[in-house]
Amino acid sequence: MAKVTYITHDNQNHSIEVQNGLTVMEGAVQNDIPGIDADCGGGMACATCHVYVNEEWFDKLPAKEDGEEDMLDMAFEPKKNSRLSCQIIVSDDLDGLTVNIPSKQG
């Protein structure tokens, strides 16, 4: 279990306890956090679950797998700290993770 804080574009904080094994994307979708579309349902095929990971957390996350960076090319306003939230799997180590949701997904 990890507490994940989702900050939406209008600066609303949503702190959610997300079960281990779920992705950060699933934590958002299951709790109706606005701004994560996740059109493809977690297949790393659409770039509509794009988030910005808080600097201090970005380096602690497991590295991107092949294909994630390719998908991020298509994301709306990608930055250095961009990730696809469907590729971040929640574990106890991620307790306190904070992600910012972009203004749009495309």
Partner 1 sequence: MIKTDALIIGAGPTGLFTAHQLKLIGLNCEIVDNLDKIGGQCIELYPDKPIYDIPAVPECTGGELTNNLINQIKPFNIKFHLSERVDEVKKEGDDWIVKTNNGTTFQTPNVIIAGGVGSFEPRKFPIKECEKFENKSVLYSIKDKSIFVGKTVTIFGGGDSALDWAVELSKNSKVNLIHRRDDFRGAQSTVDKVHELSKDGKINLFTKYQISAIKGDNHLESVEIKNDDKETKTLKTDYALGFFGLIMQLGPIANWGLNIDKKTIQVDTEKFETNQKGIYAVGDICSYPGKLKLILSGFHEGALAARACFKLARPNEKYRFEFTTSSKTIKGRLGIKGD
Positions in 1-60 near partner 1 (CB under 8 A):
37, 39-41, 43, 45-48
Beta strands at 50-53 and 82-84: parallel, antiparallel or unpaired: antiparallel
Q: In what order do the strands lie in the sheet with 2-7?
A: 13-18, 2-7, 98-100, 50-53, 82-84
Positions in 80-99 near partner 1 (CB under 8 A):
80
For residue 26, the tally of other CB atoms under 10 A from its CB is 21
For partner 1, the binding residue among 5, 78, 91, 100 (CB under 8 A) is 78
For partner 1, the binding residues (CB under 8 A) are 37, 39-41, 43, 45-48, 69-70, 73-74, 76-80, 104-106
